[in-house]
Amino acid sequence: MIDEYKCGYQLVPKSGSQSVCEYFANLLNIQADEKNKTGGYKLRRKPGQGRGTIEGYYTFSFVRNPWTRLVSGYYEFLKYVKGSRKGNPHHVWQEKKWIRQGKLPISQMLELMSSKEDLPTFDAFADFVINIEEQHGNPNGHWLSQCRTLRSFYLTNKKRKICISDYDFIGRLESFGKDLKHVAGVIGAPIDYVPWTHKTPLRIRRQVAGSGKTYKEFYTNQKLIDDVGKYYEEDIDRFKYTF
């Protein structure tokens, strides 16, 4: 909840969430500290953020094409694999948080992907997400269905969980600048520029995909396209996405 502007933002990972948080952190002059490398990280860990909606507050979120989001989730997973191997404090902390939430640790995810390579292929990762993960634990939010995430918290009065129709606005990453400016206009917040943060590091893109590889190049056969489409069927139907 962002009380200063009477709005509530539901964070959907891999759909521009860090950019939205950075925008509001800059707006509210929330600074980084020893535990949070940016103001946006500090804001997203603020108690109560993304946990309810107050009557009269403007409630919004952002979503993304599920096929591209899964590729982004793959990049995110590889980043955590590399970070955990190096003992990166943030990645170690995040993994411990996943375990507390009933999600799988990185080592078990890698084992279930049955990868014989140093890093798993996208096909192995997609098969894990679609067919394996939920048999062993709670799905990781970085690739969980967006509709499920949007419905994941209760209204402030605790009478029921929020419905997707309760949101005042759901923007899209594909039109992020325009949609964030729309939100800012409605809540009366200044917006001098559109932040764009948390992009996949170039070194990971080159190592995994080759420079310039588009998301469609990860989908090497029609079955993979269809399987991902079936898994995210609700997201695709509700938000009218196509491959």
Domain ranges of the chain: 3-65+145-187, 66-144+200-239
Give the global pTM: 0.87
Q: Give φ, ψ of 160 to 5 degrees.
A: -160, 160
CA dihedral 72, 76, 78, 83 (to 10 degrees): 160
Please give the average pLDDT of every successive group of 10 residues along the chain, which has 243 residues.
90 94 90 73 61 77 97 94 88 89 93 83 96 95 96 78 93 96 97 72 44 83 98 98 97
| Contact in structure between 162 and 154 (CB atoms under 8 Å) | yes
State the angle between helix axes of 89-100 and 66-86 in degrees (0 to 180), rounded to the nearest 10.
120
Question: In the β-sheet with 7-10, what is the strand arrangement from edge to edge?
Answer: 7-10, 58-63, 169-172
- Chain position carrying tokens 């694999």: 81
